Amino acid sequence: MSIFNSELIKIIEDKDTLKSIATVSRDGIPHVVYKQSLHIEEDMVVFYDLIQSSQVNKNLVNSIWFNGKVAISILAKDKRNFLITGRPVKSVTAGKNFENIYSKLQDKKGKEVELSAIWYIEPITIREETYETRRKEEQEKYPYIRHLDLI
Amino acid sequence: MIVARDKEWRKKEPSLDDVVKKYQDMPASWILKVDIQRRGLWYSPNAVAKINPAIHAVHQDGKDLFRNNVDFVPEGLIWNDGSYLIANFDFDQKNPARDPYVIDYIDGKYVIVDEGKIVGDFQGYWEKPDFYNKKASNGQPLSTYVQARPQRIEVSVNKYCHFWDCPSEGCKYCPLTPSYKASGATEEQDDIKYMREAFAEAFKQRGRFTQVLLTGGSILSGKELFDDELESYIRVLKMIGEFFSGKRFPSQLISSAFNERQLEKLYNETGLTMYTTDIEVFNREKFKWICPGKANKLGYDEWKRRLIASVDIFGKGNVTSGAVLGTELATPNGFDSEDEAFENVVEEAESIISHGIALAANIWRPTPKSIFQNQISPTLDYYVRVYREFDKLQRKYITNPYNDDFRRCGAHVGLDLMRTY
């Protein structure tokens, strides 16, 4: 059974959804970047890195080498948001699949666009982070961590 | 099944596990790559069944003089981190010093096995470029003239190294010229017309190549030493340059150590962006013993001086130097211990890296047909220890991490470590 439900897949694939990925450098410095190419393929989070010298590329290499984790934040146009944690497991940098994506990206975005790598992230956890959902969860689980005037 | 000539070899050196535990700041998957290069690899029947010559680049044409057998092995592997590992290298398959790793295909995954245990996995075999399916106008496969790695297109301009004109002067680790002689080949260079046809076809493939590489054996003749070698490279680089609209194109030349006049001519007359001349051995005395031709015709100090001088012409970060790491411990004239070798090699390496020159050091495998063929290469611990130190120096002196990097070569794994700079 897929870790992603069909509703989340639909949200992720909506062009109006904002999708960001947070990684950590070799020196422990966090880095967040938006990746609108992010989508789901066979239970993996997949996105394209277009710049070989990008910090996200360096951080993902460091993560795949040392079993590090990444966080992916999904913000739907209706303001619902989700957090996916996962680990990078594959980086495709050559081959027919790479060349097909390279051509498609150029056809869509113009000849100046490069493709450095296709990254595959294996999801570990998925959690809805929408404020209203989280507020209700907390209220049910910890009913007394509130200001007194709200009791 | 290939079995080591010394059945006790595992008891005499640290294991892969030992080294991974010792160097926890080094990627375990990278350490495995180092050890595969050191020990060699072989294929299970399941792994062989996955080799498809219609899709994969396999060793079938016998043109690569670094491998003697025409046995359809994959030219290379793609690691999960997107880096490449060349797999067509030769090692002693009859009586190797150590057991090779075994490639297998289990439960839908390509895996690496040692003593029956899975020690790693990888994405798959290198795919061949489209032009490998086509022929030149003379009916020969285009792959006869130009070869490819996953993102690099390359040509071996001179197939014979003239340091071997005097047989006792060839580099002792190198099988290229002995293999050339054994093959019965007579043409040292291919016709540029067919190279052009191969490049024309190759450049049609979108997204396949990021760099052109030229290399080959040394040519000593000319008005000055290496002048004829220089002219042979200029001729091919000019031909390739016709395919690009700008003056320069991503390219690398690995050649003999040219003097300043030759380097300026090379830079000014071609679109070359990156120059490499291999120092081979990080010690003057060992170089003299291991590379006698280079030592006699030019000498270690002059080779090194020219390497460093090339930075002024090609620019800091656009020069690298290769070595056959581990030969400094060959017997009988190598260093007596790995500790002694480590101290000497690192000190000498810093004197080169400090000029902004990254070291593309390859792992020495005593290769069949080379003079050193029956020797034993150093331990895995030695290689990881040395590469780790090179990496620290390269970070300190900020060498360019995007030339000669993981996606260009697939042989000198030490430069993979630059990916997080």
Model pLDDT for residues A103-127, shown as the tens digit of each residue: 999 999 999 999 999 999 999 999 9
The predicted pLDDT at position B63 comes to 56
Distance from CA of A143 to the nearest CA of B (A): 45
CA distance A1 to chain B (A): 19
Instruction: Test A90 with B27 for CB contact under 8 angstroms.
Output: no
Residues of A in contact with B29 (CB under 8 A): 64-65
pLDDT of the residue at A2: 82
- Interchain pair B82, A117: CB under 8 A: yes
Q: Give burial (CB, 10 Å; 0-12/13-18/19+) of B19.
A: buried
Cross-chain CB nearest to B82 (options A26, A91, A103) = A91
What's the pLDDT score for residue B368?
A: 86
Chain B, window 96-155: residues with a beta carbon less than 8 angstroms from a chain A beta carbon: 123-124, 126-127, 150-151
Q: Chunked in runs of 10, what are the mean pLDDT values of chain B (421 residues)?
A: 89 98 98 96 93 88 55 88 89 86 97 97 96 96 94 94 91 86 82 97 97 96 98 98 96 98 98 97 98 97 98 95 97 98 98 95 91 95 98 89 85 92 83
Note the ipTM here: 0.94
The dihedral through the CA atoms of A65, B360, B212, B171 has a sign that is: negative
Give the number of other Cβ atoms within 10 Å of residue B343's Cβ: 12
Q: Domains of chain A, with CATH numbers?
A: 6-150 (2.30.110.10)
The answer to whether the CB atoms of A95 and B127 lie below 8 A apart is yes
3-class state of residue B254 by DSSP = strand
Contact B127 A102 (CB under 8 A): no
Structure tokens at B136: 């030149």
Q: What is the pLDDT of residue B62?
A: 47
Q: Which residues of B touch A89 (CB under 8 A)?
A: 80
Distance from CA of B30 to the nearest CA of A (A): 8
| pLDDT recorded at residue B175 | 85
pLDDT less than 50: residues of chain A: none
Residue of A58, A89, A93 lying closest to B420 (CB–CB): A58
Half-sphere exposure of A23 (CA within 13 A, CB side): 25
Comparing CB atoms, the residue among A61, A91, A102 nearest residue B207 is: A102
CB-based contacts of B363, cutoff 8 Å, min separation 6: B34, B37, B38, B325, B326, B377, B383, B413
Pairwise CB contact (< 8 Å): B207 & A98: yes
Q: What is the spatial distance between Cα B256 and Cα B226, in angstroms, rounded to a whole number?
A: 7
- Tell me the C-alpha distance between B358 and B414, whole Å: 10
* Cis geometry, peptide bond prior to residue B368 (ω within 30 degrees of 0): no
Q: Report domain B130-420's class.
A: alpha beta
Q: Cα–Cα distances in Å, from A2 out to A34, A44, B8?
A: 24, 10, 48
A87 in B contact zone (CB under 8 Å): no
Judge: B206–A98 Cβ closer than 8 Å, yes or no: no
CA distance B98 to A68: 33
Q: Where are the alpha helices (DSSP H) in chain A?
A: 6-13, 55-66, 96-109, 131-141
> In chain B, what residues touch A57 (CB-CB under 8 Å)?
419
Instruction: Spell B222-252 as b/e; 16+ CB within 10 A means b.
Output: eeebbbbbbbbbbebbeebbeeeeeeebbbb
Q: Specify the 3-state DSSP secondary structure of A101.
A: helix
- How many angstroms separate the CA atoms of B58 and A32, rounded? 41
Domain residue ranges in chain B: 9-125, 130-420
pLDDT at B61: 53
Closest residue in chain B to residue A62, using alpha carbons only: B420
Distances in Å between the alpha carbon of B334 and those of A104, B234, B379? 54, 37, 15
